[in-house]
Structure 1
Amino acid sequence: MGFPTQTDDAIAFTPLDVQALRHTRDLIDLGILGPDRQAALVRTWGRSYARLAEWQATLLTSRALESDADPADTLAQLTQEVLPRVEALQSYVWRRHLVSAGARMLAVETPGSPVVRQAVVFVDIVGYTSRSKALSEAELVDWLEHFESETLGLVVDRGGRIIKNIGDEVLVVADDVTDAAEIALTMTSRGSDEDDRFPEVRAGIAFGPVVTRLGDVFGPTVNIASRLTALARPGTVLIDQGAYERLSGRVHAEDADGQAPHGQAPDGQAEGEAGGSPYTFRRMRRVSVKGYSRLGAWALRRPRQGRGLEPGAGR
């Protein structure tokens, strides 16, 4: 669970630890926890609850220090009053997410498979380092809180799911590549609006097979989305071949299921709108990035009213 190893004579455990072992044995006997899942599950629980506990402890400690009474006594009283309510709310949120995740997994073509076809989106804040240097700690926290809160609303409204925030970057997945496109385009549009507090961002989208494990995602599709984000200019969205084919409707006959080889972009695609697609696409020059010698990409845009492509974006 992430705690240091104790010596044999250290008093570090309680009857609750014994009960936890009994529950674990029950799950093993029921066939839920196999040998290959036990350690990984415990590590995931440990990491997730460690972060949650740090945040909750900070809240309680800050409240205790604001009191005129002894901080230790105030903290003990707050803990007694607050923890049962927090525990009940955590159970409520967890159960709601469990129902949602279960329904989503049963809806896929091969329920129980760790591999699903999804759109992966990376969104990166432009100029995060320089901006963070110019802000106080409180201002930086407020800025990031605003970004994360607004991002969550944008993502869930389009049916996407935030996998994790990685510093100044957020990783999102969506079952529908159109939802992924709308998430990325909305975020870059807001970031380009000088009157909007939302920071300037750039994004990369890839569509293809994704390996899911303990709430995280892995595989070439994730790697390509990350590479595209690093290549994108501020305020732009770059997409890979899989996303391009789904959004444009131009799926090769030999890849009718959309499973085109990653990084292999077809030649001869013209810049402009694809028939029936609400987007415009600009073919980018092939680039060499780590793991992909000739990565193909397209700049994704919404068409401007009464005009063709929006000039100046992408590279």
Structure 2
Amino acid sequence: MSEVAGSSGAEEPEEPEGRERTEGEEGDEGTEGAGGAEGAVRAEGPEGDEDPIALRIEQLVLGSERRYTPFQAARAAGVPMELAARFWRAMGFADIGQAKALTEADVLALRRLAGLVEAGLLSEAMAVQVARSTGQTTARLADWQIDSFLEGLTEPQEGMSRTEIAYPLVELLLPELEEFLVYVWRRQLAAATGRVVQAQDDDEMVDRRLAVGFADLVGFTRLTRRLEEEELGELVEAFETTAADLVAAHGGRLIKTLGDEVLFAADEAGTAAEISVRLIETLAHDETMPELRVGIAFGTVTTRMGDVFGTTVNLASRLTSIAPKDTVLVDGDFAEELIGDGDAPESEAEATAAEKAAAEGGTGEAAPSYRFALQPMWQRPVRGLGVVEPWLLSRRT
């Protein structure tokens, strides 16, 4: 993590004689001197000097050199220091006291975010949420790119260190990755906006009815004791990649990955059912993977910063924990939704009778094409949620 935002008790920058401090420059304890720029790298050499190559890479990535302390950056942006500190910390930038580590890019970003508040387009609380969600998402992305991508492409060469190879590589990749990031973000923004526009009312934009599912690797704790770290990392990456691809391909949304577990959501029960059954089928044919279990619930879900919360999410998690290996358990609301949409019959007896009648030509109607079968299970208590009646979901053959 780069060190950028200041800590309380740091020495303040020298002010011109006779100049009065502007509003916000003397903040509450804990915000004084806070500032932010993830690229403020502190790669110190043997004598405490910063690594010149690291500084060159930082300047290349940020597009400008260090010029400002946190107080100076906030003043240049015309933003109170206390608000600037909130933004920087929301973005995940560490404290740097009063080091001169900020750039024109930091000032411009701060000015733009504060400008959205001044224009009334965002409340201050919403602007902080924007900063936090963006910071958390891009921090993970940057870590992944360095750990799994750049590191693999910068193997030390004879006569050159890894950092010496990294600079020209970053110089070549940076504009391409930046354009690709913006493209993917715009695509995702368009999809998310479309979902909001299709909402029935304003309340549904925040509290929506969704199918929420957890897919969990069985016996993962035992695997951590048996596999080497590298093998375990490869297994987790393969699982997350398979899950992410299947969720996206069939119209769901991957909410987050938790190592041995993924959380996904879908607008329709049929979409979630297809994803869950395909996950079971795909991993069952992979001998390197452990068994999988999936739990799905349907109901009102609160969405915040790309995550989902509420009783429906908790129920899906509990169903996953009680599901037998290589099975999918769903709740009653999900079963009703699936039946109502015509994706599953109310009972296999009903489906068999309809198919038989259609085959004999007695009704003159085609047999219904159900994709899934539902089998009611015994009612059982679920911790924190009372008694539920799970249904076993499977594909009809």
Structure 1 residue 197, shift from structure 2 partner: 4.6
Q: Which residue in the other structure is 1:47 paired with? A: 136
Structure 1 residue 210, shift from structure 2 partner: 1.1
CA contact (8 A) 2:219 2:290 kept: no
- 1:237-272 per-position Cα deviation (integer Å, ceiling 9, x unaligned): 11111101112339xxxxxxxxxxxxxxxxxxx974
1:146 aligns with 2:235: no
Q: Which residue in the other structure is 1:60 paired with? A: 150
Structure 1 residue 89, shift from structure 2 partner: 1.3
Q: Which of 185, 188, 194 is 1:94 aligned to? A: 185
Q: Which of 376, 380, 393 is 1:287 aligned to? A: 380
Kindly, what percent of the aligned residue pairs are identical?
38
Q: Which of 187, 191, 200 is 2:283 aligned to? A: 191
> RMSD of the alignment, in Å?
2.4
CA contact (8 A) 2:213 2:263 kept: yes
Q: Which residue in the other structure is 1:297 paired with? A: 390
Q: Which of 195, 204, 215 is 2:295 aligned to? A: 204
Q: Which of 327, 333, 336 is 1:242 aligned to? A: 333
CA contact (8 A) 2:293 2:326 kept: yes
Q: Secondary structure at the match of 1:291?
A: coil
Partners of 1:153 and 1:52 in 2: how far apart?
A: 17
CA contact (8 A) 1:273 1:280 kept: no
Structure 1 residues 11 and 291, CA, compared in 2 at 3 Å: closer, same or farther? same
- 1:165-210 per-position Cα deviation (integer Å, ceiling 9, x unaligned): 01211111111101111111121233334x5555421001111111
Look at both structures and tell me which one has the larger radius of gyration over its CA atoms: 2
CA contact (8 A) 1:283 1:297 kept: yes
CA contact (8 A) 1:190 1:198 kept: no
Partners of 1:196 and 1:273 in 2: how far apart?
A: 35
Partners of 2:349 and 2:339 in 1: how far apart?
A: 8
Partners of 2:227 and 2:350 in 1: how far apart?
A: 43
- Where in structure 2 are there 5+ consecutive unaligned residues? 1-90, 352-367
One-letter code of the match for 1:206? A
Partners of 1:60 and 1:83 in 2: how far apart?
A: 11
How many residues were matched structurally? 284
Which structure 2 residues correspond to residues 245-284 of structure 1 after superposition, within 5 A? 245-249=336-340, 272=348, 275=351, 277-284=370-377
- 1:123-149 per-position Cα deviation (integer Å, ceiling 9, x unaligned): 101121223433333332332222222
Q: Secondary structure at the match of 1:116?
A: strand
Partners of 1:61 and 1:278 in 2: how far apart?
A: 45
CA contact (8 A) 1:163 1:216 kept: yes
1:5 aligns with 2:98: no
1:120 aligns with 2:212: yes
- TM-score norm. by structure 2 comes to 0.66
Q: Which residue in the other structure is 1:85 paired with? A: 176
